[in-house]
């Protein structure tokens, strides 16, 4: 047994076992005694040696909060001032529903990798309808499952569990930076790449995308121009709904995507795009130019009908009164169009992934496609271009573009 040096601390017997202390330095630079306790001398000494090793490598926090208290501080003082409102909303939701109810009582420095693994396994089994009382909150005549003792087994998907782990990892990273803990347990846990994730991230073939656009155009769907921009330019939903006429130059066939529209709680916010690269001008293929000209005509008609009730927001895609389109309503319209067309059901973001194939079908030059897709290497763009659409599909898309012409 190695001899303890002066100032290292001590181990001594107490009523229920043994107790030991180590001289540590807190993040503020102050020295203090930190204690450990165990039922046997061996257990106490093991904890004492671990604490001594930690103290030798850097500051040790004297007052470590519970995970619930730290997450509340992290959300309010760190995340909210520095992150996008939509990101903060997501962090708050996952913390409230999935992290704090199961791990919130744990002290930060007592949280272990085993706790994280058990928590993730538990999330895969818990019915969220039961846990959140969804069915019980419905009117009595509309209750159909959990409140009636018929559990619907609405468990979290693998993708949602991964998101929950990522939120916890972000919080613990901050705790490490503030020297409250020395290790981020959530960063150690690796989640398998489940088939469920791959199934949900599907996109359309060029032919399916063409059928979707033809259906919208044939029915004079007012959102047809929006669907064109999602499929051909790969715009995100927020970028599409935040697009302004001021940044659309149809003569030069370019648009600048610098704003996005997002619903955060009870507010509809217009804010800057994620990165500076998103603000680079995007070249517009002929189909997109024609679609935007059609949209301008639609908006002129809406403005004339609304007369004094028209609200000028400068947005390209608006309601009949000029106000911004609710993102959730756009998704619902997109889903209804999918049902009418009969193509596989995907999200708006999934449709965005069809962009490269659509550009190839429209005979857009690979260098222009690289700029639209925002790829750093042309090899990535060319890999997407390996799916060569049939001549019939190309001809149908060109015909669709001509139908939008003057």
- Asked if 146 contacts 135 with a C-beta cutoff of 8 angstroms, the reply is yes
- Tell me which range, 20-29, 161-170, 348-357, is most confidently predicted by mean pLDDT: 161-170
245 confidence band (pLDDT: 50, 70, 90): very high
Which of the pair, 179 or 114, is modelled with greater confidence? 114
Given a cut of 60, whether residue 290 has pLDDT beyond it is yes
Which of the pair, 358 or 164, is modelled with greater confidence? 164
Find the mean pLDDT for residues 194-223: 77
Spatial separation of the C-alpha atoms in residues 283 and 257, rounded to whole Å? 11
Looking at residue 379, what is its pLDDT? 65
Looking at residue 402, what is its pLDDT? 60
Collapse the DSSP code of 315 into the 3-class scheme (helix H, G, I; strand E, B; otherwise coil) and give the result: strand
Find the mean pLDDT for residues 78-85: 88
Find the mean pLDDT for residues 65-72: 92
The answer to which of 154-158, 281-285, 326-330 has the lowest mean pLDDT is 281-285
Spatial separation of the C-alpha atoms in residues 45 and 49, rounded to whole Å? 6
Question: What share of the chain in percent tops pLDDT 70?
Answer: 82
Which of the pair, 203 or 238, is modelled with greater confidence? 238
Find the mean pLDDT for residues 340-358: 83
CA distances from 85 to 75, 192, 196, 265, 388 (A): 11, 30, 29, 9, 41
Given a cut of 80, whether residue 139 has pLDDT beyond it is yes
Find the mean pLDDT for residues 226-252: 90
Spatial separation of the C-alpha atoms in residues 387 and 394, rounded to whole Å? 13
- Tell me which range, 84-93, 176-185, 370-379, is most confidently predicted by mean pLDDT: 84-93
- Asked if 167 contacts 95 with a C-beta cutoff of 8 angstroms, the reply is yes
Q: Beta-carbon neighbour count of residue 74 at 10 Å?
A: 21
The answer to which of 4-13, 56-65, 159-168, 312-321 has the lowest mean pLDDT is 4-13
95 confidence band (pLDDT: 50, 70, 90): very high
Nearest CA to 83 out of 280, 276, 274, 349 is that of 274
């Amino acid at each position: 047994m190695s001899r303890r040096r002066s100032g290292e601390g001590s181990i001594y017997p107490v009523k229920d076992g043994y107790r030991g202390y180590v001289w540590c330095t807190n993040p503020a630079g102050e020295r203090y005694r930190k204690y450990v306790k165990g039922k046997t001398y061996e257990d106490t000494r093991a904890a004492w040696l671990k604490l001594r090793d930690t103290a030798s490598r850097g500051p040790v926090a004297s007052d470590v909060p519970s995970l619930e208290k730290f997450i509340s501080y992290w959300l309010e003082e760190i995340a909210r001032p520095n992150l996008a409102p939509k990101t903060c909303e997501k962090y708050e939701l996952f913390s409230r529903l999935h992290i704090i109810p199961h791990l919130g009582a744990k002290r930060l420095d007592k949280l272990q990798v085993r706790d994280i693994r058990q928590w993730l396994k538990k999330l895969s089994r818990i019915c969220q309808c039961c846990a959140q009382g969804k069915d019980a909150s419905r009117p009595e005549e509309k209750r159909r499952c959990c409140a009636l003792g018929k559990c619907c087994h609405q468990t979290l998907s693998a993708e949602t569990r991964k998101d929950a782990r990522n939120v916890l990892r972000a919080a613990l990273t901050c705790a490490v930076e503030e020297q409250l803990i020395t290790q981020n347990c959530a960063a150690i846990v690796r989640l398998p790449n489940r088939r469920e994730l791959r199934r949900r991230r599907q996109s359309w073939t060029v032919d399916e995308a063409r059928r979707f656009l033809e259906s919208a155009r044939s029915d004079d769907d007012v959102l047809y121009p929006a669907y064109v921009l999602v499929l051909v330019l790969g715009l995100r939903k927020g970028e599409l709904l935040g697009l302004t006429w001021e940044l659309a130059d149809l003569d030069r066939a370019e648009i600048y995507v610098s704003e996005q529209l997002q619903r955060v709680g009870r507010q509809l916010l217009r804010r800057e795009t994620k990165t500076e690269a998103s603000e680079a001008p995007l070249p517009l293929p002929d189909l997109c130019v024609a679609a935007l000209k059609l949209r301008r005509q639609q908006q002129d008609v809406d403005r004339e009908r609304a007369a004094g009730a028209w609200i000028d927001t400068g947005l390209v895609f608006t309601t009949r009164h000029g106000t911004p389109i609710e993102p959730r309503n756009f998704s619902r319209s997109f889903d209804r169009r999918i049902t009418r067309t009969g193509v596989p059901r995907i999200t708006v973001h999934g449709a965005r992934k069809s962009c490269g194939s659509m550009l190839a079908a429209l005979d857009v030059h690979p260098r222009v496609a690289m700029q639209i897709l925002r790829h750093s290497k042309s090899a990535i763009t060319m890999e997407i271009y390996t799916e060569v659409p049939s001549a019939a599909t190309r001809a149908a898309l060109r015909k669709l573009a001509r139908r939008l012409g003057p």
